[in-house]
Amino acid sequence: MIRAAGTLDPVEEVRAALMLHATEATTLPEEAYLPWTTEPGAFARSLALPGAVWGDRAAIGLKVINSSLSNPDRGLPRAQGLTMLFDQETARPTALMEAGYLSALRTSAYTMLSIQALGRKEPQKVTIIGCGTLGESHARLIAPGLPEAWFVLYDEVPARLRAMLGTLDGAGIRCRPADSAKQAVAEADVVVTATTTTDSYLPFDWLSPGALIAHVSLDGVEPDVVRHAGLVVVDDWPLVRNDDRRLLGRMYRAGTLLSPDGEGFGTPQDTARRVDGTPADVLAGRRPGRTDEDQIILSNPFGMGILDVALAARIAAIARQDGLGVTLPA
């Protein structure tokens, strides 16, 4: 799968899928969510994200991604799962691939697209908080597109920080460590939160003018980042609105956040902040993007299964063409 993925441009694939979604040429049901607690008391969950992308190349499938917060302590990736593709006519499964790598790839590609559409010109400092699989995937995908940028890394576990520094240095990516999240964020043009925390730790006053925050964690930024950012962009408002486990969904239910159309939950507060739109809105010119170099922008995607399905379909097509993978009997 990695060989096949290496021959496509994931950012352009994500862009194309987002634009199809903006024209309602997709089917995106709500995710199925199954949480539990492991015997030692760690949080674990299973997510099932079905989706279909229509357009010229239809792709129909399902991603099942599971995670346990205690996995890194076992030397295992936090998240792992499977992505399946289905035949449009028979509904039979046509491809099966590992979901963890694919999920990290699509999330990193979404962030890179956000940098291109909403970031400052020629960012010089990219901060990544969280040195797991997702953080490394971001650095590897972003670095070729920002050859002049330095990557500043922070993780509360020193061993993970040292390991990622060594890996990226070996890959020729310019990076250096920070002693704290606050130090890492200082003067950053791009801040990527790629942690597993369920607590907020990043306040608005840490951010420098012009920063783009790619908030791809469950939690991380404080509510004042949402309130004071010059622009708040999400990938799909209904998904964000319906999820009360994440910050924006909780703020919506608390009456402090409104939809892009101004709709609120119950009786919203008079000071409620409106979400500005989606990257597709910006790319299509329906809503404004960055208006000045000092504007602080929050990109807070939910993580749409249709992006995984679209990428998986392209990877499967390349694998068939190049004779990669294993063919199973019908």
The neighbour count for residue 48, using CB atoms within 10 Å, is: 16
Delimit the CATH 3.30.1780.10 region(s) of the chain: 2-102+306-322
The β-bridge partners of 178 are none
One-letter amino acid for residue 136 of the chain: E
> The tokens of 27 are what?
């089917």
Evaluate whether 258 touches 251 at the Cβ level (below 8 Å). Answer: no
Which pTM value belongs to this model? 0.95
Domain 120-303 has CATH 3.40.50.720: yes
As a whole-number percent, the residues of the chain with pLDDT over 90 amount to 81
H helix count then E strand count, the chain: 11, 15
Tokens of 252: 């919506």
- What is the location of CATH 3.40.50.720 in the chain? 120-303
Which tens digits make up the pLDDT trace of 311-330? 999 999 999 999 999 988 86
288 pLDDT higher than 90:
no
Query: 189 to each of 86, 126, 214, how far by Cα in Å?
Result: 41, 6, 11
Q: Are 185 and 206 in contact (CB under 8 A)?
A: yes
Residue 124: which of 194, 210, 206 has the closest Cα?
210
Report residue 40's pLDDT band, with 50, 70 and 90 as the boundaries: confident
> In angstroms, rounded to a whole number, what is the distance separating the alpha carbons of residues 196 and 178?
19
Report the C-alpha gap between 80 and 99 in whole angstroms. Answer: 6
pLDDT for the residue 244: 86
**Superfamily of structural domain 2-102+306-322:** ornithine cyclodeaminase, domain 1 (3.30.1780.10)
Whose tokens are 């989606």? That residue is: 278
Does residue 186 register a pLDDT over 90?
yes
